[in-house]
Amino acid sequence: MPLNSKFKQRLPWFLLIVVTVIFALLFIHRYLFFEKTIDFFNKVNVIWMGNTTQKVVALTFDDGPDPIYTSQILKILKKNHIPATFFLVGKNAQKYPKLVQEEMKSGYQIGNHTFSHPHLNTLSEAQISLQLVKTDQIIQKITGQKPLFLRTPYEELNENILNIAHSDHKQIILSTLTLEHQLSKTPKAKAERVMGMVFPGAIILAHDGRLNRHSTVKALPYLIRGLQAKGYRFVSLPELFRK
């Protein structure tokens, strides 16, 4: 039999082997891709709003505690019976433990907002972990409880942050609307901006520290009265998630 004839007879088998190997490699690649994707999404424990049609919102504060603004905000919240969550910067909590105790005794939720408020997306996993663990230890020493909720500074996220939050069983809380906005020049304008954009399940971000927050303190009564007039009710984060 001529050589070319033998090659032609073997060619289908050769092609079958090549095609089988290619499909096997594609299958393995796709499997690894989906496995990595699933693993990534298993680490994503991020919430930025409540899944509800009820007219409820959650109020949250970052960057405290602060001896000037936190005290004023607590008075407003208590007077109006408004629940809230305070995401604490560890070094501030360490400096003002009595304010943390007051927040806790008044029934407010307390979350982790890192120790020194850095850009976490520029840090290694070890550095991110140190920021969270150190703050957890400070808060736990003051309140007796380790915070479950985490809000990252500037609401930054990347794979390192998700990995550490996942390993530490932290629920990452982002926000839907921010009370402080550069286009809103007055306290009333800040409140009206949020009232115009609000929807059921919104998580509202405000601040009680780090910068001058006089305008935030003044905007808070406008916001509370305005949202209540629109039929909204303020709830804690755990209650928002239950709905």
From residue 93, how far is each of 19, 61, 90, 148, 173 by CA, in Å?
Answer: 63, 14, 5, 16, 19
Q: Dihedral of CA 5/9/11/12: which sign?
A: positive
The tokens for 46 are 């991020």
Q: Is 136 a catalytic residue?
A: no
Q: Is 169 a catalytic residue?
A: no
Q: Where are the extended beta strands (E) located within the chain?
A: 46-47, 56-64, 85-88, 109-112, 149-150, 171-173, 177-178, 203-207, 233-234
CB within 8 Å of 214: residues ≥ 6 apart: 69
Map tokens 């006089």 to a residue. Answer: 214
Q: Please identify which of the residues 113, 136, 207, 208 carries the catalytic annotation.
A: 207
Asked, as a colleague might, if the bond just before 65 is cis with ω within 30 of 0, I would say: yes
Asked if 86 and 126 touch (Cβ cutoff 8 Å), the reply is: no
Q: Please identify which of the residues 62, 63, 66, 208 carries the catalytic annotation.
A: 62
List active site positions: 62, 207
